Each structure stands twice: as structure tokens, then as C-alpha cells.
Amino acid sequence: MSYLVLARKWRPKNFAEVVGQEHVVRALENALDGDRVHHAYLFAGTRGVGKTTIARILAKALNCLEGVSAQPCGQCEACTALDEGRFVDLIEVDAASRTGVDDTRELLENVQYTPTVGRYKVYLIDEVHMLSRQSFNALLKTLEEPPPHVKFLFATTDPQRLPVTVLSRCLQFNLKRLPTGLIAERMQLICDAEDVTVEPGAISRLARAAAGSVRDGLSLLDQALAYGDNRLAETEVTAMLGTMDRHRVLGLIDAIATGEGSALLRQIDELDQDVPDYERVLDDLATALQRVAVIQLAGRDAVEEEEELDRLAGLADALDPAIVQLYYQVAITSRRDLSLAPEPRLGFEMALLRMLAFRPDDGSGTVPIDAYRGGTAPIRGRKPRSASAENRHVVPDKSLPGEPVSTRADLSDWPAFVSGLQLSGAARQLAENCALEAASDNALQLRVEARNSHLVTPKLVERLTEALRDRLGSALAVRIDKVEQVGDTAAVRARAEADARHEDARTAIEQDPQVQQLVDIFDGQVISESVRPKDDTPPAD
């Protein structure tokens, strides 16, 4: 007997065996049991999620010799013929190969005749969106007023391409992609029944590669069983899919996070020896970063199925969430641009070097990667915890002995004092977002909101300190704490002044006699957001 592929062998034969589409199954079961079956159904969804499978089960439920029911017997002649694909009153059509109006007219010629053996004549049209406009026009009249013995079941991956006149005559069900865990459970069940030796990591990789499609997953399972001689080993599945082991992906993130450029290049060289698909590697990298972000937001319980959970949790604890988002963006953008690179290896290497280049440096130095595999030791770019030692940046006193801080400067109006500092660019932005917490003869203690912590870099703090020393004396140490709220700063005062100028301008416009006359004539209104003071520069497009 010829081999039957797993996707066909394990195709559901009743509604109870359908997984992941409970919202569709429940509606159909209620309609069948309540004798409220519509004459036309449209099943929409991506490939391999069960559109034609559910349509065939519905045809079986309508024609079972035991009567119309949500639970067809599966034993009668009609059910057996439907399962084997030889039921004469189920007319299956592939619209992709029969798009012309003549094909449709030929199909509909026998609509008025009663079924040969079944209770209903069922027309199952797959990829119905491929029909031509003339074909849809030919179908419309029959679809609007079909004979009582006819049911239409349509399946499509692109419902937007169907005319609204067709959509309005159908009950539409949108089938969803299946979650990875559900696909993995289905694969495990099949492997157990087929007596296949399985490594859990192999099933997880195949389920992820299926991308929400059960049929794609079972096709990959067939391929993996052939590759591994009826056993599933994670290393063999990884090789077949052209992906990397998760620990190698996390090793790349480790090297990037700790700033170890030489180690990163060595890992890329080792990776290149396996001639990988660099698009898939970037996909794996983005997936790992996404899992790290999920752990940071919802905790490790949200990703319990991960085989490298401890290392992912360690990265989640060590990395600043903003850095994770940046790395993820670089990964997916680089994947898109990979085809523009001179060769894929160079594009991939440049993506990782870009991650290495665009990273904050808070002066804490590099921590060996082994130190934080358990997720306890800090590394550069770690997220702030509280207004404690790790949320504080101190510039040591570099002054000559005996040079006290000048007391002639008035620090009582700190925002005004900051405005007079000789600073520009990001250093001025840092100064304007700092508030004065305390001042002594040889030290200033400043505060900055945690949301502006990206400004607290060694270079910018050094520039701010030098500007303060020019005004206050060279024997000065500056400490910057990161807190939730800072109070009055130059930036806050500038925003308040800008808001006041905008309010004055808005009031002046609304009270202008000519503007009031225009509003009355044209029944209009003044859009306050469009009003700007004369001295304000309009925003760039």
C-alpha cells in the first residue's frame, strides 16, 4: 500500500478532532443541531488552518444517513464515501484552475437537479477569490436564490478580493492561525500514535517553523521523519530547517550585550562554517529578543515552553528594555535589507556590528558573560532599579588641592543658572532636565527623571561637570541620581513658558475681529493646535 502523508492521514474527520478553531466549530454545531443551516458559507484564513477540512466535515454532517447532525456517524456509506473523497454529491472545484465564466456556467448547469445519493448537493469551491468578475456575476443569481437541495461552501485565503455582492450572501467565518503550543501538542499526539522517538526541542522547532499552519507543520514533520529515519532529534531538525541552536543565538546576544567585539566576530566566523541561511538566523535572533522582552514585561511564566528559559531570563534581568527594543528593530530591519548587501554574510555581520555600535555606555565596564548567565550580575545598559547606587552617576573630583567651589554664583534659581551654562547639544539637554537636590562647598547633587536616563552617559556628564566647574570652581564633584520625578528644571520651565506663549497667541487669534468675522461667515472654528507665537519655529515636515 502506498504511503499516506501525515497531513492526509491525520486530517480531522469530525468537529471534535478540529483544533484551534472553536469559534467556527461551535457556530456550525449549533446551526446543524438547531436546523438553521445557511445555504452559503465562506471560510477565510491562511493556508493550512482547516478551511477545506471544516467544509468537508460540514458536508458529511449534512449528508450522513443517520440524519443532519453535528456528530455524523462516520460509519454509513455516505460518511465513508466523503472520507474517501468519492461522494458523488460533493462537487469540489479548484477556482485557481477554473477561473473562466464558461467553467462556472458549466458547473451551475446541474444545480437544478436533485442529489444523486445524498440529501444535499454540496459545491465546495476552494480559492474562490481566483474566479473572474464574469464568473462571480454568473454565480450571483444562483447564490442568491439556490434550490433547497444545494449548499455552497467557499474557501479563500484572500477574502478582500471577493465582491461585496458575494460576501453579503454568505455567512463568513475567519479561521485563525494556530498558536505554536497547540501545533506542538498535535505533533506530539501524532508522534505517539506513530511510535516515533521524539526530543521535545525538535517538536518545538517544527511547531515554530509551521508559522501557525497545521498542514505546514505536518509536512515538516513528514520531512523531519524522513531526514531522521523515523526519529526526531533536535540537532537533525535544526540542520534540516537551516536554523541555529537557541544557545548559539543567545551567545550572539551575550557578545553584543557585553561589548565583546572580538568574541562576536569569532562566533560569526564559526557560524559561517555551517553555511546558514542568514535570513533565518536573523529571524531566530529577533525571536529570542522578543522572548526576552516578554519576560521583562510579564515574567518568565509567560514563556515556560522555552528550552533556554534560564538564559533568556538572565538576559531579561541584565538588559535595559529599551536596548532590547533597539536590538529587535535592528534585527528585523537588517533582515529586510539583507538582499542589498554584497553577500548575506556581510549583511548579517554588519547588522550585529550595528547593534554593538548603538548601545549605551554607563562606565560600569564589561562583565564576563559567565558572570550573569543566572541573571544576577549587571552589565552595561542594565535597566535602572531604584534611586540607589546603580541609579547614580558620580564624576570624581579632578581638581587641584585647595580650590574651593565659588560661592558667588546664585544657585537658588537653578533653572536660570543652567540656562547660562556654556553647553550645547545633548549636554545642554542633560543640564536642562536636571534639578538641584543639594549643594555643598565641593559637590553638587542633581536629579534626573528615569525616563531621561539615556542622557546620563559618562561623556555628557563630564561635559556638564566641566561647564559647572568653569562657573563654580575646579574643586567640584557632581553626582546625578535617577528618580521618578525631579520637580522644577530648565526644561520644565521652558515648556511652561512655551505653553503660556501658545495660550496668549490662541487668545489673541480668537479675539481678533477679522478672525471672528471669518468664523461667523463660514461657520468655522479656530484649530488651536495650528496657532503658534510669532517667535516660534514651526515644526519640520
Residue 252, C-beta contacts closer than 8 angstroms, at least 6 positions apart? 264, 267, 268, 285, 352
Which residue is listed with cell 518545538? 204
Q: Does residue 404 belong to any structural domain of this protein?
A: yes
What does the pLDDT read at residue 42?
94
What does the pLDDT read at residue 98?
76
**Contact by Cβ (8 Å): 406, 473:** yes
Q: Are residues 424 and 298 in the same domain?
A: no
Q: Does residue 213 belong to any structural domain of this protein?
A: yes
- Among 322, 340, 372, residue at a domain's last position: 372
CATH code, 467 = 3.30.300.150
What gap in Å lies between CA 316 and CA 292, rounded to an integer? 5
Q: Are residues 14 and 155 in the same domain?
A: yes
What gap in Å lies between CA 105 and CA 197, rounded to an integer? 52
CA angle 325–327–329, rounded 5-degree value: 70
Q: Are residues 71 and 168 in the same domain?
A: yes
CATH code, 92 = 3.40.50.300
Q: Which of 11, 175, 135 is nearest to 84 (CA)?
A: 11
Q: Does residue 381 belong to any structural domain of this protein?
A: no
CA distances from 413 to 34, 416, 447, 488 (A): 78, 6, 15, 10
What gap in Å lies between CA 335 and CA 287, rounded to an integer? 13
Q: Are residues 59 and 41 in the same domain?
A: yes
Q: Are residues 331 and 258 in the same domain?
A: yes
Q: Are residues 335 and 421 in the same domain?
A: no
Q: Are residues 19 and 167 in the same domain?
A: yes
Could you count the other beta carbons within 10 Å of the beta carbon of residue 20?
20
Q: Does residue 382 belong to any structural domain of this protein?
A: no
Q: Report how far Cα 154 is from the mean position of its chain's Cα atoms.
A: 30
157 secondary structure, DSSP code: S
Give the length of the chain.
Answer: 541
Q: Are residues 156 and 110 in the same domain?
A: yes
- Among 314, 347, 372, residue at a domain's last position: 372
Residue 124, C-beta contacts closer than 8 angstroms, at least 6 positions apart? 52, 55, 56, 59, 90, 91, 92, 93, 153, 155
Q: Are residues 436 and 521 in the same domain?
A: no
Q: Does residue 483 belong to any structural domain of this protein?
A: yes
Helix (H) and strand (E) counts in the chain? 22, 11
Q: Which domain does 518 fall in, by range?
A: 499-530
Q: Does residue 433 belong to any structural domain of this protein?
A: yes
**Contact by Cβ (8 Å): 213, 182:** no
Q: Which of 431, 450, 443 is nearest to 479 (CA)?
A: 443
Q: Does residue 540 belong to any structural domain of this protein?
A: no
Residue 196, C-beta contacts closer than 8 angstroms, at least 6 positions apart? 225, 230, 231, 232
What does the pLDDT read at residue 499?
81
Q: Does residue 67 belong to any structural domain of this protein?
A: yes
- Among 139, 174, 209, residue at a domain's last position: 174
CATH code, 257 = 1.20.272.10
Q: What are phi and psi of 477, to 5 degrees?
A: -115, 140
**Contact by Cβ (8 Å): 153, 59:** yes
User: In b/e form, how buried is each residue of 519-537, taking b as 16+ CB within 10 angstroms?
Assistant: eeeeeeeeeeeebeeeeee
Q: Are residues 363 and 278 in the same domain?
A: yes
- pTM score above 0.85: no
What does the pLDDT read at residue 152?
93
Q: Are residues 285 and 228 in the same domain?
A: no
Q: Which of 215, 212, 152 is nearest to 182 (CA)?
A: 212
**Contact by Cβ (8 Å): 167, 201:** no
Q: Are residues 211 and 297 in the same domain?
A: no
| Mean pLDDT by groups of 10 residues along the chain of 541 residues | 80 90 93 91 91 93 90 90 90 83 82 88 91 87 88 92 90 90 90 86 85 89 85 82 73 85 86 80 89 86 69 85 90 88 90 80 43 36 41 46 46 85 87 87 85 86 88 82 83 84 80 75 70 58 39
CATH code, 202 = 1.10.8.60
**Contact by Cβ (8 Å): 82, 90:** yes
Q: How many domains is the chain partitioned into structurally?
A: 5
